[in-house]
C-alpha cells in the first residue's frame, strides 16, 4: 500500500489525476492538499472518493511549512500540481503567482528533502516556460523563454526543482504538459470558455486573428503519463524533464469553429478582440522522450477529446453556471485601454 500526496488535487488536472489513481490502484491511500482558491473546487472530486477511508483532504496552503512537513512525512510520493495557473490573471495580479508557484514549490521540495521515505517528487510544470516555439516540434531542450508572469513563475519553480536534484540528489521529476482540456476545467481557459459561450448562444471572443497554435492534450492522457512516471524505475526518471503533448497544433480560430460546428451554432458567434499581452504564437510538442523512456503516447485525438469535453459541459451545467462571472479577466493593454480576456 502506497500513500500519495497530491497538492492542488481539487483543481482541474489534479482532480482528474485523483480519480485516475483512486480507480486504478485500490490499495493506494490518497492525501489531497488544496487551498480551494477560485480554481480549486471540492465538487471536482466525486463523493465516492471523498467518503472513502482511502482518501484524506487537507484544506491548506503549500506555503504552510508545518502542514506540508506533516503530510510529506507520511507519504511515499508527492505529485505537486498546486499553482496559480492562468496567464491573463497573472497579468492582472502577478504577486500571488510567485508566492504560490515558486515559494510553495520550495516548501514542498524542502519537505521532501527532509524525509527519505519519499520515493519521488513529481513537479507539474508547463509548456508555457518555453515561450513561442523557436524550433518545431519543441523538445525538452528547447530554450526557456517565459513570456508572462505566470510562465516566469512556473519557469522559476521548474528550475528550482531541478536545482534540488542537482544539489541534493532529490528524487525529483519535472513534467511539462502542453495545453490541457477536458472535464472540470475552469471557464477562464479557452476551450471551456468557448464551449459554455456556444451553449449559451453568446459571443466566442478570439484574441488577435486567432492564428495562435497550440498542442491540445486531453487530460486523461496526461494523467496516464504522470502515472507512468510515478511507477517507473526511479533511476530512469530522476532528474529528468518530460514533455506531455500530442504533436498536433490546431489554431485557436479552428478550435472555435469546430466547437460551433459540433454544437450546430452559427459562425457569426465568433468575434475578435486585441491580442493578449505576452501571447505565445505557437506551441507544438515533441513527446519522443517520454515515448522512448516510458512507452507513453496519447490515445485520444483532438476531435474525440473535444466531443467528450463538450458532452461533459452539456451534462454538467450546474457545475459551470456558478463560474460564469469569472469567465473573463480585465487586462490593461499597452495603450492603456482595458480589455476582457
pLDDT in single tens digits along all 341 residues of the chain: 899 999 999 999 999 999 999 999 999 999 999 999 878 899 999 999 999 999 999 999 999 999 999 999 999 999 999 987 655 555 556 777 788 899 999 999 999 999 999 999 999 999 999 999 999 999 999 999 998 888 999 999 999 999 999 999 999 999 999 999 999 999 989 999 999 999 999 999 998 999 999 999 999 999 999 999 999 999 999 999 999 999 999 999 999 999 999 999 999 999 998 887 778 899 999 999 999 999 999 999 999 999 999 999 999 999 999 999 878 777 666 666 676 66
Whether 289 is in a domain gets the answer: no
- The reply to whether 62 and 164 lie within a common domain is yes
Whether 56 is in a domain gets the answer: yes
- The reply to whether 114 and 253 lie within a common domain is no
pLDDT score recorded for residue 91: 56
What is the 3 state secondary structure string of the chain?
Answer: CCEEEEECCCCHHHHHHHHHHHHHCCCCEEEEEECCCCCCCHHHCCHHHHCCCCEEEEECCCCCHHHHHHHHHCCCEEEECCCCCCHHHHHHCCHHHHHHHHHHHHHHHHHHHHCCCCCEEEEECCHHHHCCCCCCCECCCCCCCCCCHHHHHHHHHHHHHHHHHHHHCCCEEEEEECCEECCCCCCCCHHHHHHHHHHCCCCEEEECCCCCECCCEEHHHHHHHHHHHHHCCHHHHCCCEEEECCCCCCEHHHHHHHHHHHCCCCHHHEEEECCCCCCCCECCECCHHHHHHHCCCCCCCHHHHHHHHHHHHHHCHHHHHCCHHHCCCEEECCCCCEEEC
pLDDT score recorded for residue 328: 76
- The reply to whether 206 and 88 lie within a common domain is no
Cα 13 from Cα 122, distance rounded (Å): 14
> In this structure, are residues 8 and 125 in contact, taking their beta carbons and an 8 Å threshold?
no
Count of domains in the chain? 2
- The reply to whether 73 and 120 lie within a common domain is yes
Whether 195 is in a domain gets the answer: yes
Cα 16 from Cα 132, distance rounded (Å): 28
- The reply to whether 134 and 201 lie within a common domain is no
Q: Quote the pTM value.
A: 0.95
Whether 263 is in a domain gets the answer: yes
Whether 79 is in a domain gets the answer: yes
Query: Measuring CA to CA, which residue among 261, 244, 243 is closest to residue 253?
Result: 261
CATH number of domain containing 206: 3.90.25.10
CATH number of domain containing 93: 3.40.50.720
- Domain range for residue 131? 3-181+218-244
Whether 106 is in a domain gets the answer: yes
Whether 240 is in a domain gets the answer: yes
Amino acid at each position: 500500500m502506497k500513500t500519495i500526496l497530491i497538492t492542488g488535487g481539487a483543481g482541474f488536472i489534479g482532480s482528474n489525476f485523483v480519480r485516475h489513481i483512486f480507480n486504478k490502484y485500490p490499495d493506494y491511500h490518497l492525501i489531497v492538499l488544496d487551498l480551494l482558491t477560485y480554481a480549486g473546487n471540492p465538487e471536482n472530486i466525486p463523493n465516492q472518493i471523498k467518503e472513502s477511508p482511502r482518501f484524506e483532504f487537507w484544506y491548506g496552503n503549500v506555503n504552510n511549512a508545518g502542514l506540508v512537513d506533516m503530510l510529506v512525512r507520511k507519504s511515499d510520493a508527492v505529485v505537486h500540481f498546486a499553482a496559480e495557473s492562468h496567464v491573463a490573471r497573472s497579468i492582472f495580479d502577478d504577486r500571488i503567482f510567485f508566492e504560490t508557484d515558486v515559494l510553495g514549490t520550495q516548501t514542498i521540495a524542502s519537505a521532501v528533502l527532509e524525509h527519505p521515505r519519499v520515493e519521488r517528487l513529481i513537479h507539474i510544470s508547463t509548456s508555457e516556460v518555453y515561450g513561442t516555439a523557436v524550433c518545431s516540434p519543441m523538445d525538452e531542450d528547447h530554450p526557456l523563454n517565459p513570456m508572462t508572469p505566470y510562465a516566469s513563475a512556473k519557469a522559476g519553480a521548474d528550475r528550482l526543482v531541478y536545482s534540488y536534484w542537482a544539489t541534493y540528489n532529490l528524487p525529483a521529476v519535472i513534467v511539462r504538459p502542453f495545453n490541457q482540456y477536458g472535464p472540470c476545467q475552469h471557464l477562464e481557459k479557452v476551450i471551456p470558455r468557448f464551449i459554455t459561450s456556444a451553449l449559451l448562444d453568446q459571443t466566442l471572443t478570439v484574441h488577435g486573428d486567432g492564428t495562435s497554435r497550440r498542442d491540445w492534450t486531453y487530460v486523461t492522457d496526461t494523467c496516464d503519463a504522470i502515472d507512468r512516471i510515478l511507477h517507473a524505475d526511479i533511476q530512469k526518471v530522476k532528474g529528468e524533464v518530460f514533455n506531455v503533448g500530442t504533436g498536433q497544433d490546431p489554431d485557436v480560430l479552428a478550435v472555435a469553429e469546430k466547437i460551433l460546428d459540433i454544437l450546430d451554432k452559427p459562425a457569426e458567434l465568433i468575434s475578435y478582440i486585441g491580442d493578449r499581452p505576452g501571447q505565445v504564437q505557437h506551441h507544438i510538442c515533441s513527446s519522443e522522450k517520454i515515448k522512448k523512456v516510458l512507452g507513453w503516447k496519447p490515445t485520444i485525438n483532438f476531435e474525440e477529446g473535444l466531443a467528450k469535453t463538450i458532452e461533459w459541459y452539456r451534462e454538467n451545467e450546474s457545475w459551470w453556471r456558478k463560474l460564469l462571472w469569472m469567465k473573463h479577466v480585465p487586462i490593461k493593454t499597452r495603450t492603456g485601454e482595458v480589455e476582457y480576456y
